[in-house]
Chains A and B, each alone.
Chain A
Amino acid sequence: MRQSNIGWLFLAPATLILFVVGFVPFIYILYVGFFDWNTNAVDPTLRWAGLQNYRSLVFDTTFLNSLARTLVFAFFVVVSELLLGYVLARALMADRLWGRQFFRTMHTLPIVVAPIAVGATWRLLCVPGFGIVPYYLKLWFGIDYNISTNAYHAFATAIIMDLWHWMPFVTLSLMAGLTALPKEPLEQAQIDGGNKLQIFWYVIVPMLKPVLLTTVFIRLMDALRSVDEIWMLTKGGPAEATRFIGLHIWINVFPKTDYGYGAAMSLLTLYVTIVLSWLLFVAMTGRKGGAQ
């Protein structure tokens, strides 16, 4: 009993901080979402709107497009990072790789760069007229690459930038997971005559599942809330081609000062993220709850 009380005492500061910075703002946003509130309106006070903000969201094509675009972005980013990250992890674990430590260090460096700096650097690389990427793509392949007029170019560049920045994280996670795998099941599978693909699919993947699950969740949630890198790279353009949901919410809440509607957007996005994560969890573990 005494031990239990001490445990709660130790947890108290963290719980208090979480309550203040997590739960209280959540309740506040929930509250604001039921009001029409714009400080630049003729009436700048909070006016009760009930569920009107949520009803409007269902018919708001800009919001829905933004959400759909974000999901597509997250899908491409997470799948690509997982596949390429695994390949790189295996490559960087290979004994035959000369200068392995050097490559591991170099490969990990992008993680420590601030997202805003990553976005700015990629913008300089890709800016039409001056950037080296459009210059060499034109010179070598005749491609008129332009992230400020071509929606596909901008979208693809956003994905590649995210890969460059965050794939090392996936690689590191998978390397840690692969290193910790017991050798016996792998040796047993080889003795039983399993080929490389079978060993990968039936032995390695199941054993890596906890690591994969954690990595996918982290990357998925990061990808769904991408703002700063994209802001620096394209500012959501051309037109709205890379206006992902985080950016869309920011524009509504700050420059437009549409606090009620922005709060509703935030909550709906949170709901979508939770549902998506739950579906993913179920799909990857076959369980409907009780993660172990």
Chain B
Amino acid sequence: MNSFVKAVGVGFISLGLWSSTALAQDSWWKTAAQPYQGATIRGISESTPASKYVEQVLGPKFTEETGINVEFEATSWDQMYDKAIKDMEANTGIYDFVYIEQDIVYTYLARNFLVDITKSLADNAKIASPDFKPENFTTFLNYFKDPKSGNVMGVPMEAFIKPYLYRKDLFDDPAIQKAYKDSTGADLKPATTHDEYTQIAKFFTEYGADKELWGTTVQASSSHPAAFYEFFESIAPTFGVYNWGIDGTTFAATEANGGQMNSAAAKKALNYWVGLLKYAPPESTSSTWDEVAGTFAAGRAAQGLVYGENAAWIATDESKSTVVGKVGVSLPPVEAGVMEAAESGKGYIGYYDGGAFGIPHSSKNKDASLLFLQYIGQASVQTDWALAGSRIVMNSTYDDPKIVDQDNKMNGYYTLMREDGKLFAGAPPFPFHSQVLQVVAPFIYKAIVGEIKPDDALDQAATAAEAELVKLGYRK
């Protein structure tokens, strides 16, 4: 009897030990996700290399680990906004997490679309992962903080700069260097000024006349906001025109009222940019960011400003790119004084783009979505994600050996981003982003197709922007 009791006791102890070990083997994610097992969260994002990684890798991994299903829609930029905004406006709750591009976050915050992630995690400690640490992120996270409370409203999923890419193989070719020297009297090297850039573009257009090669890419779709973005966020700043030329205090756009949209510098910038179309491949007037990357990857341009999200695959993926190993990276060319202004923090030389995932108030699965956002916000998932999408949102990612190796293959894109990222800036904090864009963009389109002169385009655009801002009540 005594031995029987002992045996039963040992049995219970063993069972207890086994079950506690088994529980300990369950990941934190599985335990935290227990109440949401079988739930399905739906997200929407622009189809970018980084978001495709979420769709194809991180989503399924999260499901495997937590039992929470992730339905992820990676669609075009326009469709993404159209669907996400309509869902949040109508409070339908179709999407549990949405892509927040850096430039739209101010609109979303002004309209109170987003759940306060910091507060939600503080209120529900059971689902606050010890591996999610906001302090791990680069300063890019600051764009997704509520300016009033400082709380996190979105978890960064991609961040990149828009650098100047050039064909290193062509620039380093002694025969081409000689031809360039003979033709221009200058040494062939990546441009640091706009005059140099134009000269190089002209040279390569003539050189490549029978080679399907042109001097530059231009993101100048004559009917897509991509043209507006390239001009106001990548070109105008290099001429010293910041924040779309709109005064952030008075919301003036015309020079007469204190704005810069139609200033001499802005007009010089638009003339320069439209002038580059002479040296760009024919698809340029229908090119958005995707087509620009495609043009460069197809070897049809010697240089160009290309969104960094595409830098990795252009430089390393032979199945998609014909210029693997031939890509050089540098800072965009600027006007005199602009670099100094950027270094002193008084200006910037290009666009620091990216986005985060946030949770709409309309979401029906907020807690499960909070788990997912923390999952993708762990340091451990960042490296492979960066390799796939050339996006870095955490400081520690830069030092990973895999990233260092890829950086070498990309001729220092990540180094450039780490060291000179401070020279770039995101979009201005305008809650009227889309409204002004829709009013101003048609004038840029008209300048592209030659319907009106660039100077007139900016005069009319500035007047129209101000009228819109008066109508919206921002400008008195």
Contacts and interface: CB of A to CB of B under 8 A. Distances in A.
Interface in B200-238: 221-224
A240 B442 contact: yes
B233 to A, nearest CB: 17
Given A40-B107, A40-B435, A238-B285, A148 B221 contact: yes
Contacts of A41: 471-473
A84 to B, nearest CB: 28
Contacts of A149: 222, 285, 448-450
Interface in A190-236: 234-236
B222 A148 contact: yes
A184 interface: no
B283 interface: yes
B474 A42 contact: yes
Which DSSP category, helix, strand, loop or mixed, fits chain B's interface? helix
Interface string A12-53: 000000000000000000000000101111111000000000
B438 A40 contact: no
Contacts of A134: 282
B473 A43 contact: yes
Given A40-B111, A255-B434, A128 B445 contact: no
Contacts of B224: 235, 237
Nearest to B223: A237
Nearest to A62: B442
Interface string A110-131: 0000000000000000011110
A236 to B, nearest CB: 5
A199 to B, nearest CB: 48
B110 interface: yes
A40 B469 CA distance: 11
A251 B435 CA distance: 10
A128 B111 contact: no
Contacts of B300: 129
A127 B283 contact: yes
Contacts, number: 99
- Is chain A's interface secondary structure helix, strand, loop, or mixed overall? loop
B16 to A, nearest CB: 58
B431 A148 contact: no
A251 B281 contact: no
Contacts of B438: 251-252, 255-256
B472 A39 contact: no
A62 B439 CA distance: 11
A186 interface: no
Contacts of A239: 222-223, 442, 445-446, 448-449, 451
B432 interface: yes
Nearest to B300: A129
B82 interface: yes
A10 interface: no
Nearest to B446: A239
A134 B78 CA distance: 26
A239 B450 CA distance: 10
A151 interface: yes
Contacts of A42: 472-474
B223 A236 contact: yes
Contacts of B281: 129
Contact of A238 (B223, B282, B437): B223
B89 interface: yes
B472 A127 contact: no
Contacts of B472: 38, 40-42
B31 interface: no
Contacts of B81: 255
B190 to A, nearest CB: 25
Contacts of A146: 282, 285
A237 B222 contact: yes
A257 B450 CA distance: 29
B321 interface: no
A59 interface: no
B286 interface: yes
A261 to B, nearest CB: 9
A254 interface: yes
A18 B392 CA distance: 52
Which of B221, B439, B445 has most chain A Cβ within 10 Å? Answer: B445
A134 B281 CA distance: 13
26 contacts: A38-B471, A39-B89, A40-B434, A41-B473, A43-B473, A128-B283, A128-B285, A129-B281, A146-B282, A146-B285, A148-B285, A149-B448, A149-B449, A234-B223, A235-B223, A235-B224, A239-B223, A239-B442, A239-B445, A239-B449, A254-B85, A255-B438, A256-B435, A256-B438, A256-B439, A257-B434
